[in-house]
Amino acid sequence: MLTFADWLMILGYFGVLAAVVVFSLRRNRIESGEDLFLGGRNVGWLAIGASIFAANIGSEHLIGLAGSGAVAGLSQSHWELHAWVIVMMSWVFLPFYYKSGVSTMPEFLERRFGSRARWILSIVSLAAYVLTKISVTVYAGALFFEVMMPEVQLTVGGVAVSSFWIGAVATVVLAGVYASIGGLSAVVYTDLVQTFIILAGTLSVTAFALWHLGNSGVALPGGDIADEIGDGWDVLKATVLKTGSEERFGLWHSLSHKTFPWLGVVIASATIGVWYWCTDQFIIQRTLAAKNLTNARRGALWGAALKLCPVFLFLVPGMLGFALHHNHVLVGGSEFAIPLKTLAGGAAAINGDAVFPTLVQRLLPAGFRGLVVAGMIAALMSSLASLFNSVSTLFTVDVYQKLKPDTPPRRLVAVGRTTTVVITALGVLWLPIMKAISGGGLYQYIQSVQSFLAPPIVAVFVTALFWKRMNLRGATWGLSLGFVLGMAKLAANAIWGGAEGFAIVQDFYFSGLLLAASFATVVIASLTAPPPDEANLKGLNFACLDDDFRRENRASWNWVDVTASCVVIGLVVCAYVYFWNWLD
């Protein structure tokens, strides 16, 4: 139950949110599509980096990643140590995107190949956003409200409406309202505030979990008794060893592992990382809103630094929750216990999607619970608002404006806002479907789906930048065939998920095979058609850069950017070195 202090924190959050939206509207009047979709291209690096982080950290992270930590330990950390990919994006991909002056990723493909490639990527991206990102984000957020605010109830026409529906619909509608009214400017500046709320809220969960575990009185291997917060991490390691969970909670797994074989994880996580951080409209749109290339790159590097946090703020608390649950630690006079679920064979197991809400509900004192709930709302709303704005941009710029190229700027603004309203409605209508999906494994689910969507897009963008011989036929066949094969695998999993015939090709191994097939398709198809005119590739391929491009790109960075990049990559290496044998 939330107390008065908790509700005060939540109301304070909404007050700050409203003030930031008003500020952004006064700072950037919405008069054209560029104002709505790119914040007038006048955003600084601090806001860009925070927006990249807040957009990425959705409710599926708080719910799904914490659950994965409790069930599978560090297995999902490979997807959360992608700061190195963002650094690569800032140096390799971003200069081409920013200097080309495009508003969307499909528009960049049109500049490189032609309109057909733009249409294919636009359709694939829109379908992916509606069916994966929006649906999972809304469902995970609604699940959190159901656990944290059970007392919030309404009766409409004699029918009781639970907190699941009230919380989800309210946040979806509010996110849609400020995304449609304020555009990307409102989204970016609210993300700047919401980043610090998310960090403060989730850090408090980690701290309190360590405190309770460290003062649990559990016997440590050396004979000591855990009686201070510094013992919390040792209790976790001792619990993993005591339960024989070393392999399950380790960073790497055998090649024959059914869910996380190390080779499949390396290939799939890197592929998804390049797709998500280097080619996806959802992320790249923030960097395109920068004042200049310097701010765009530094914003990306700031986002990369923030991306180092999720393992410690979401996944580790889930692991601590596992230890609290297994050791029956007393919290407030009663044992800490995570709700269980029944598996197919009748055995009981921890319900991963209930881990984070349980940690918040049981461990945090009044006020702190409100802070975390505000952080959860911030994560949900920032992701949804970013999704709504990106989908609105894709539809308006890549579909509507292509069909009606003479549309005046104010009309494009109206279309963009209408699209956001429609997407908001679709998000609400999708709730009953997501409610019917069995609980558990949200984060693993979304990574599996993305592993089928990412390979053809990665193959096309990477080849486009590094091989000037690639042409429209290569892009068309690469995107089309890759998408069909990926959706076929997804459909097979949905229909015959337990069939031995489809278990032969593990999901992440399939991602690697699809990536190789996509690259091969791009190359072979390109070689069956004439090469593109090099005059049209100026500034769109590494082999076709002129002196002006090189000079402007070199002027956009200095020792600060190089040092920041080295620090981020160094921290990623340190994280891998520590967690490689963290139980020894």
Phi (first) and psi of residue 391, to 5 degrees: -65, -40
Measure the CA–CA gap between 253 and 257, rounded to whole angstroms.
Answer: 6
Answer yes or no: are the C-beta atoms of 359 and 69 closer than 8 Å. no
Torsion of CA 79, 84, 89, 91, to 10 degrees: 180
What is the token pair recorded at 472? 């429209």
HEC string of 276-295 equals HHHHCHHHHHHHHCECCHHH
Measure the CA–CA gap between 56 and 75, rounded to whole angstroms.
Answer: 19
> Do β-strands 154-156 and 159-161 pair in parallel, antiparallel, or remain unpaired?
antiparallel
pLDDT tens per residue, the chain (584 residues)?
A: 678 888 888 888 888 877 877 777 666 665 555 555 555 577 889 989 988 988 888 766 777 788 889 988 898 899 889 999 999 999 999 999 998 888 889 889 999 998 888 888 888 887 777 666 776 777 767 776 776 677 777 776 667 777 777 777 777 777 777 666 666 666 777 777 878 888 888 888 999 999 999 988 888 887 788 888 778 899 999 999 988 888 889 999 888 888 888 998 899 899 999 999 999 888 898 898 888 999 999 999 999 999 999 888 889 999 999 999 999 988 888 899 988 887 766 777 888 878 888 898 888 888 888 888 887 777 777 777 777 777 888 888 888 888 888 888 778 778 877 887 777 677 667 666 555 544 445 555 666 677 888 899 999 999 999 999 999 999 999 999 998 998 888 777 766 654 444 444 577 888 899 999 999 999 999 999 999 988 888 889 999 888 889 999 999 999 999 999 999 999 999 999 999 988 87
- Number of other residues whose CB lies within 10 A of the CB of residue 203: 17
Mutual angle of helices 163-214 and 409-429, in 10-degree steps:
70
Q: 469: which strand partners?
A: none
DSSP calls for 219-249: BPTTS-B--SGGGHHHHHHHHHHHTT-HHHH
Exposed/middle/buried for residue 280 (C-beta within 10 Å: 0-12, 13-18, 19+): buried
Measure the CA–CA gap between 166 and 145, rounded to whole angstroms.
Answer: 8
Rounded to two decimals, the pTM is 0.86
Residue at token pair 């944290």: 148
Answer yes or no: are the C-beta atoms of 281 and 393 closer than 8 Å. yes
- What is the CATH code for 4-431? 1.20.1730.10
CA–CA distances in Å: residue 280 to residues 105, 124, 135, 345, 372: 7, 11, 18, 40, 29
Domain ranges of the chain: 4-431
What is the token pair recorded at 478? 């690469």
